[in-house]
Every structure is written in structure tokens, then in C-alpha cells.
A and B are shown apart, each in its own frame.
Chain A
Amino acid sequence: MDGPTVTMGVRHIGGQVAVVDIKGEVTAACEPVLMSAYEEAGGQGTSRLVLNFAGLEYMNSGGIGMLVTLLVRANRQRQHLAAYGLSDHYREIFELTRLDEAITIYDDEASALVGATT
């Protein structure tokens, strides 16, 4: 079986916010990559995690399930989860699965960072 085609780079913005740039396919198979990125991003002092989906090419239901797992872990650490860069298609999927009720969606990075720091 093919492995995941995804890369996740982590950028720290100030002391409390981290952005995870997701590029490629988000499926259940890329859970180790996402959780590793989360460990890097969600270190001490990070209270807000922003997921950048501008490079998202494909996502199946396993990928959505993995985001729920990430959400649980972030909540456990009292971290807020936000997202931006979603195409209309993926924004609809977030709304359909009602993930948008727990992960705040922004149009772009600037608004996500403003939202994350206010």
C-alpha cells in the first residue's frame, strides 16, 4: 500500500501561535506526520494552532477523522485550533461534518493570525 503524500511544515509566529503548512493528501495514513507536526507546533507556550490548508490536494473521510483526533489533543492542552486556505469544496466538507463548529475557519493567514491573537 502506498504511503501518504503529505508534508507538514511548522512555523512559530511569536510565542503563542504556530502555523502548520499542510501540502498534499490528508488521509488516515498521514496521522504520524500530522501528530509529529503537532508535537513540534504545540510545544510549551503555544496556545493557538493554525492549520494552513492552501496546499491541500486530497482528503478522504479518514483525514477528517484524524483532524478530530488532533482536535481532542489540542483541547486537552487547552489550545485553540483554527484553519485557513480551504477551497470552497473543503470548506463545505468542514461544514458538512460540522468540524467548523470546533475549528474556526478564516479566509487567509492574516485573518487567522489576527483571530488567533485576539
Chain B
Amino acid sequence: MTEAAGPERVRSAEQIELSVREAGAGVAPRNDAGRWAAKVDRLDVVQRDGVRGTNVAGRRLTGPVQGFGKMWQKTYRLAVGTAVTPEQAITTWKAHFPEFWPKGNRFAGALTGISPGDVALLDLAIGGGVKLSTGVFVLYADEESFTLMTPQGHMFAGWITFSAEGGPDGTVVQAQVLMRANDPLYELGMMFGGHRKEDVFWAETLTALGRYLGAPDLAVSTRTVCVDSSRQWRNASNVWHNSMVRSMLQTMAAPVTALRRRRG
């Protein structure tokens, strides 16, 4: 099921001073210390086997504020039933995150799973035998969610939050992307098939997770909202860092680079 909507309208609420759950009603205050990554200016990279590992070291993180294209919020959801709790679903997702990715794509993270401050290296299949080499940064992680943020050069500037919540029919797992294409080239790519490709990517990921968790039905729902239909032309120069262009150049130069290494 797919829903699409235009620029979101301001929601109405019954009152300003709204407190659904009363403060101090015997609930211990939550603490987010240790769940957020420590501040970094530029990314440090530990090389990992199985991925090229380029286009990440020294890059800055990019949120939707730094991106170029229209801003989208895309939400992918799958009900996984009553056999697993939200905490169990997230523990599993963190521990086996790369295994749920569609074939042909590589996520090389820390062996310990997903922890705030980790940098994972990615090789993404973009067709024609070319792999787009980029990475992600673990921005936030708790028992019921974790969030990855993208570096300069990634297809999009923003973050992806993976979460699980309980409901009357059991646990629902969700991936939610808040993003802008990072530069004009990526924006064109997103317009001409990129969005569809991304929808397929996350639907397949959730399907694989659901299968692992024993979900009774593997139907993934997708909801796409254009949060901001304007483009941020001041960020058009992000194209300098474009990891797709750099990955293509790196692929073409690979034989020469290998030859030089052998000789030198």
C-alpha cells in the first residue's frame, strides 16, 4: 500500500498546554545520555573488509538543512506479530542489520552491532557493475530505535530512523527517512527512478527482517510526504562531494591504481 501527499499542512491540536501523560505521575524521567553520539566535526574511518571504503573519511555529516533537493519523509512499516516485543525486534535488527539488506549491497559496520558514534562503510549497487561507495554514522540508538545520518557525498542529506512499537495487533517495525537529495545530480536521479528504487530497497529490507522475526504477513506499507517542495540552491555546490561520480571515477581508475600499487 502506498500513500503520497503534497506539502504537509500544519496539524490541528485541541490545546496548546497539552500533556497527554501527566508529568510526575510515578514515571521515572528518561535519560538520553549515552544514546546520542558524541559530537564529531569530520568522520574518522576504520577500513573494513569487503567494501571499498572511499568517500567517507574526513567528510562532514549532512542533515536535511544541508541538502539540496525537495524534502521528503518516507515511512515504511511492517507488522511482525505478537511473538516479538519492540525491544526484541530492535535488538535483532541492530545485531543483524547488514543481513537484511537487499542482495548486491554491502553494509560494513562494527562487529559489535549498532552503537552511537559508529561509522559504517557502504557499497551500494547502482547498476552497470558500479558500486557507490559511501557511509553512514550512527547518530542515536536506544532500546526501541536507532538513527543513521549521512555524510557529504551520500545520495541524500538526512537521517533514517529504525524503530519498533507495540500496538493492539502486536509489534510494528518501521524505517523512516527524512531527507533531501544532496545535490542537483542526485535530485535528478531521485526524480527519474531513485525514489522508486529507494522504496524497493527499504521494502525488501523490512520484508527480510519480518521473515526473520516470523511475521505472519510480509506486506510493507509505504507513506511518502513531501515536507518541503522547494530546493535549496545555495547547497548546489554539494555536487563537488558527489560519491556516485567519485565512485565511477574510482571504478574506472581501479586497474591503473592496482598497477601502480604492484609496481610501487
Contacts and interface: CB of A to CB of B under 8 A. Distances in A.
A5 B18 CA distance: 9
Given A68-B63, A73-B10, A58 B31 contact: yes
Contact of A98 (B38, B62, B166): B62
Given A5-B23, A62-B145, A96 B13 contact: no
A25 B8 CA distance: 24
Query: Looking at A25, A31, A38, A65, which has the most chain B CB atoms within 10 Å of its CB?
Result: A65
Contact of A39 (B10, B20, B64, B140): B10
B63 A32 contact: no
A9 B32 contact: no
A40 interface: yes
A1 interface: yes
Contacts of A33: 13, 16, 18
Contacts, number: 125
Interface residues of A, number: 46
A7 interface: yes
B33 interface: yes
Contacts of B64: 68
Contact of A61 (B8, B12, B139): B139
Query: Looking at B12, B39, B60, B62, which has the most chain A CB atoms within 10 Å of its CB?
Result: B39
A73 B40 CA distance: 28
Interface in A42-88: 57-62, 65, 68-69, 71-73, 75-76
B227 A69 contact: yes
Nearest to A75: B228
Interface string A4-19: 1111111000000000
Contact of A89 (B29, B33, B62, B71): B33
A36 B11 CA distance: 7
B155 to A, nearest CB: 18
Interface of A: 1-10, 23-25, 31-33, 35-40, 57-62, 65, 68-69, 71-73, 75-76, 89, 92-93, 95-99, 101-102
* The 4 residue pairs across chains A and B that have the minimum distance between CB atoms: A3-B20, A36-B13, A61-B147, A61-B140
Given A2-B21, A61-B159, A97-B61, 16 more contacts: A1-B167, A3-B20, A4-B20, A32-B13, A33-B18, A36-B12, A60-B142, A61-B161, A62-B161, A69-B227, A72-B71, A89-B33, A92-B38, A96-B39, A97-B63, A99-B63
12 contacts: A3-B20, A7-B19, A9-B16, A24-B19, A32-B11, A33-B18, A36-B15, A39-B10, A40-B16, A57-B29, A95-B39, A97-B63
